[in-house]
Amino acid sequence: MKLTESLSFKNIKGRPARSLALTILTAIMAASIVVGTVTVTSLKTGLGALESRLGADIMVVPASAASKKNFENIVLQGSKGYFYMDRTYYDKVAEREGIEKISAQLFLASASAGCCSVPLQIIGYDPETDFTVSPWIRKSTGGELGLLDVVVGNDLSVFVGDTITFYNVRCNVVAKLDKTGTDLDTAVYTNTDTIKRLIESSLELGMNDFRDIDPDKVVSCILIKVADDHPVDEVLNDLNLHVRRTKSFKTKDMISGVSDSLIGVSGIIGILMCAVWLLGLVILFLAFTLSVNERRKEFAVLRIAGASRRKISRTVVSEALIITLGGSIAGTAAGLLIMLPFNGLIEESMGLPFLLPEAWVIIVLCFAAIVVSAAAGAASSAYSAHRVSRLDAGLVLRGDN
C-alpha cells in the first residue's frame, strides 16, 4: 500500500474558502469562453443558413417597396411588409441578359392561423421555376407539394402530419424546414395553386385584403440566379437601369446589415471575453502568489522533509491545476446550461439570425474551453511555483521567534 496521499488535495481541502473562490473564478472564465464562442459561432451559422436559404443572387421588388430597411424586414422579420407588382415585370426582367434562373414569389399575410399566436407570412412560390425553396422542400418531403400542402418554418409549433388552417382552408403540413435562425422560421411556404385557394376563401369570408391580388397577374418579388459568366453587379445595374419602377438588390447586400451587426456583436463579445480573462488571470496570479508567500514556511518544511525544488514547484502547479481544472469543467457545464436552454431567448434579444452549431462543434468548443482555462490557470501559478522553489529553507525557517 502507498501513502502518497496528494499533498495538493489536502491543501485544497484545508483552505476551502480560497479554493472555492478560485474555482468559481476559473469557472467564470471557462463559462465566458463557452458562452462567447458558442454565441459567435451560432451567429455565423445563422448567417450561413440565411445566405443559403436565400439562394438567389438578386431580388427584384416594386420600387415603391424598395427601401433597404423594408427589405431586411421582409427577409428577416417575415410578416411586416406586403407589396405587389404586375407580372409583366417578370417578363421584362426575364428578357435581360445574364439571367440563369428566375422565379417569382407572392407574399400573403395570414390574420391568425388558429395554431399560432403571431401573424404568419405565407410565401407562395412557383414550382415550375422555383430554385430557392424547392431544393429545401424536396430535401424535406422528397417531392413536390400538392394542392393545400404547406411547408412550415422551423419555429412553428406544428408538426408534419398536422393541419393548419388559413382563412378556413385546412392545409396539410408536409414538411418542416431546417432552422435559419431568422423570422423566416415562422414563414409558411406553399405553391401558387394553394395561394389562389386561400385568396378565394378569404374573399368568401368577406375579407377584402386580397381582392386585387390575382396570383396569375401579380408577384411580390422576383428572384434571380445570375449566370456564371456574368458578374452579379453587371446584371444588377442592367436591371436597375432598364426595368423601370422596380428596384433590384443583391441579396448579399440585403443581409450585409446582418453581417455588419454580427461583426459588431462578435467584437463586443470578444472584448468582454478578453476583459473577463485579463481580470481573471490577474486575480489568479495574485492569489497564487499571495498564497505561496503566505505558505513559504510550509514549503520550507517540505524541503526539510526531503522535497526537491522540482517537487515543490510541481506541488504548487498541481494544486493550481486541480483547482482550475475543476473550475473549468464546472464553468463549461454552466456555460452549456446557459446556452442550450436559453438560446431562443438570446436569439430574441439580439435580433440576429442565431443557429446553434452542430453538436460536435459545441463539444470541441467545450473541450477547448476546459483545456485553455485549466492551462491558463495553472500557468498563472508558474511564477509563484518558480519563486517558491528558489527559497532557501534554511533562511525561511531561521529564527522567527
Partner 1 sequence: MIITGNNVSKEFIRQGKGTNRFVAVKQTQIRIEEGKLTLLTGRSGSGKSTLLNMLAGLLAPTSGTVMYGDDDIYSLDDEKLSAFRMENIGVIPQGQTAVGTLTVIENICLSYMLKGADDRASVYSYARELMARFGIPELENELPSALSGGELRRMAIARAMIRKPGVIFADEPTCDLDDENTELVLKILKNTAENGTSVFVVSHEKDAAQYADFCYSMNAGEISAL
Between 341 and 399, name the residue whose CB sits nearer to Mg ion.
399
C-alpha cell at 238: 442592367
Residue indicated by cell numbers 522553489: 389
Note whether 243 and 88 are within 8 A (CB): no
Between 196 and 296, name the residue whose CB sits nearer to ligand ATP.
296
Residue indicated by cell numbers 400573403: 108
Q: Which of partner 1, ligand ATP, Mg ion, none lies near 224, with the C-beta cut-off 5 to 8 A by kind?
A: none
Between 390 and 398, name the residue whose CB sits nearer to ligand ATP.
398
Between 14 and 399, name the residue whose CB sits nearer to Mg ion.
399
Interface contacts to Mg ion, rule CB under 5 A: 399
User: Does residue 400 belong to the site contacting ligand ATP (CB under 6 A)?
Assistant: no
For 157, phi then psi, to 5°, come to: -90, 50
User: Does residue 311 belong to the site contacting partner 1 (CB under 8 A)?
Assistant: yes
Distance CA 107, CA 109 (A): 7
Q: Half-sphere exposure of residue 242, counting CA atoms within 13 Å on the CB side?
A: 14
Q: In sequence order, what E strands does 244-394 have? A: 246-250
Between 123 and 391, name the residue whose CB sits nearer to partner 1.
391
How crowded is residue 93: how many other Cβ atoms within 10 Å of its Cβ?
A: 21
User: Does residue 390 belong to the site contacting ligand ATP (CB under 6 A)?
Assistant: no
User: Does residue 297 belong to the site contacting ligand ATP (CB under 6 A)?
Assistant: no
**Rounded least distance, CB 371 to partner 1, Å:** 29
Cα Dmax for the chain: 102
**Rounded least distance, CB 395 to partner 1, Å:** 7
The stretch near ligand ATP (CB under 6 A) out of 87-95, 289-297, 305-313, 393-401 is 393-401
Distance CA 93, CA 88 (A): 9
Distance CA 343, CA 42 (A): 9
User: Does residue 297 belong to the site contacting partner 1 (CB under 8 A)?
Assistant: yes
Chain positions contacting partner 1, by CB under 8 A: 1-5, 7, 10-11, 13-15, 297-298, 300-311, 392-395, 397-401
